[in-house]
Amino acid sequence: MTLLDVAKAWRDQDPDLETREELDGLIADVEAGDDDAVAQLHDRFDTRLEFGTAGLRGRIEAGSNRMNRVLVAQAAAGLAAFLLAREEHPSIVIGYDGRKNSRVFATDTAELMAGVGVRAIILPRELPTPVLAFAVRQLGVSAGVMVTASHNPPQDNGYKVYLGGADHGSQIVPPADGEIAAEILRVAATANVLELPRSPKFETAGEEILDEYVRRTAALASGSPTLRYVYTALHGVGWETAHRVFREAGFAEPIAVRQQIEPDAGFPTVSFPNPEEPGAMDLAFALATAENADLVIANDPDADRLAIGVPTTEGWERLSGNEVGALLGWRAAERLNGSGTLAASIVSSPALAAVAHHYGLTYTDTLTGFKWVSRVPGLSFGYEEALGYLVDPDKIRDKDGISAAVDFLALATELRAAGSSLREHRLAFADTFGGFASGQVSIRVSDLGQIRQIMQRLRTNLPEAIGETAVDRVDDFADGFEQFPAGDILRFWLADGSRVIVRPSGTEPKVKVYLDASSTDGTADARLASARSKVAALETAMRALLA
């Protein structure tokens, strides 16, 4: 088939008027000889969005390399075939957020599942990802789907898959992702999605699933109304659920950033709906200043991530994911009484390992991605540096920005009651475990082939020093390393104990560099200053090395 034939076949099975008309216009432009339209058609149809351990995620447009109703129907039918091959009577729960087409994609999935005999339950309305992850375990279903693009740009949407049973409600990992992908490709090659069996006989979950999530999350802390804090949902779906949890836990009424509190698929007040991005929390910080607040709490749009803002003499500061992870990990370790397991992804700070060692706890490094953290045997607390935290693994096996917010609010409240503060607590951490600092360098590329070139160049010419500091050893994960499977990762250990990790991004066209340093010399302030100075030097050196 020619490119035009492929595009027309896709158009003819598209149930969505908007993307069908969009593709019709593009086809007409190609037939009129428009070279730009030809290039667009190649971009949309020369490949397809790859289904992997992160499910699907991409821009909402027509084409196999985009998110749309055709692609989602193929994914749902493929996932259904996978579940039916595993179980005689499989079941699935489906959630969705407030992004464009999220409810449509969720309803398509429910109808297609029901159409082939999979018991399908859809959540009652747009809700956070942690509620869906909780529902997989609470309802005892075979699988879960969450329609969300998390903190991606506004024009994107996505499709996360969880498995129940022996997977305990965690996101998919190999080999399941490959098996599901194979079924999706089979459907795409053999079926017109308009002819796939559908049924309206799916179930809608009752409010009790949300009520139980709220009850169990609020039970993590005994709050106090003494703390003043600002909350923003960044135009996502976190507000209703988080508000209920905070109130039921006994905390003060959150001071809401009203411009960002309701779901809005356009994300009008932020250029990028990710609390890690510069400017994303500016409205929250301005409100916190005006209200003389003690803390800022921010969830990303599907509320599985948490960002914390604290006041300083120079204005508001967002704590890094590593800082929040270390403080929550310390809190978890104190509760564990010498028995338990802490875990973090390999690109996260070594600070949590220091906490585990201090308390005689087991510590486990995992591959990048929370799906790996959540699967650590006997997990008591886990986190990843990209603002993901799991404080209650008995309830949920995924990062949860709402339960982590409750735990952090409880920490700040307890510190105030004891006459202390978060600033003093951060210094106490450095006193107890050492001063830790982290940083990142991102090298964005226009051609994915450049990523392979950068990684190959590093492997071919391994540096003997990074900046002024000698490299002690290098761990190359290309053929697997220790307990880890093969991966495109290089880890450099330096003579002063610093660490540099280089790997391609899993979701964006860039190479990511993770920088970590620590110090145990001098006062807490001196330790932190030394660690930060080392990270700054490493950043300068790595930018020069990868230029």
Q: Indicate which residues carry an active-site annotation.
A: 150
Residues 6+ positions from 478 with CB-CB distance below 8 Å: 459, 486, 487, 488, 489
SS (H, E, C) 128-165: CHHHHHHHHHHHCCCEEEEECCCCCCCCEEEEEEEECH
Cα angle 220, 223, 224 (rounded to 5 degrees) comes to 175
Element spanning 460, H or E: helix 448-460
* Biggest distance spanned by C-alpha atoms of the chain: 74
DSSP 8-state class, residue 376: S
What SS3 class is residue 513?
strand
Peptide bond into 311 cis (omega under 30): no
Q: Which of 217, 26, 210 is nearest to 135 (CA)?
A: 210
Q: Which of 315, 312, 314, 310 is nearest to 297 (CA)?
A: 310
Q: Which of 516, 522, 523 is nearest to 497 (CA)?
A: 516
Calculated CA dihedral for residues 345, 348, 351, 357, nearest 10 degrees: 10
DSSP 8-state class, residue 194: G
Cα angle 522, 525, 526 (rounded to 5 degrees) comes to 40
Is 229 within 8 Å of 316 (Cβ atoms)? no
Is 341 within 8 Å of 376 (Cβ atoms)? yes
Is 145 within 8 Å of 94 (Cβ atoms)? yes
Tell me how far apart the alpha carbons of residues 498 and 319 are, in angstroms, rounded to a whole number.
Answer: 21
Tell me how far apart the alpha carbons of residues 531 and 326 are, in angstroms, rounded to a whole number.
Answer: 15
Tell me how far apart the alpha carbons of residues 539 and 535 are, in angstroms, rounded to a whole number.
Answer: 6
DSSP 8-state class, residue 271: S
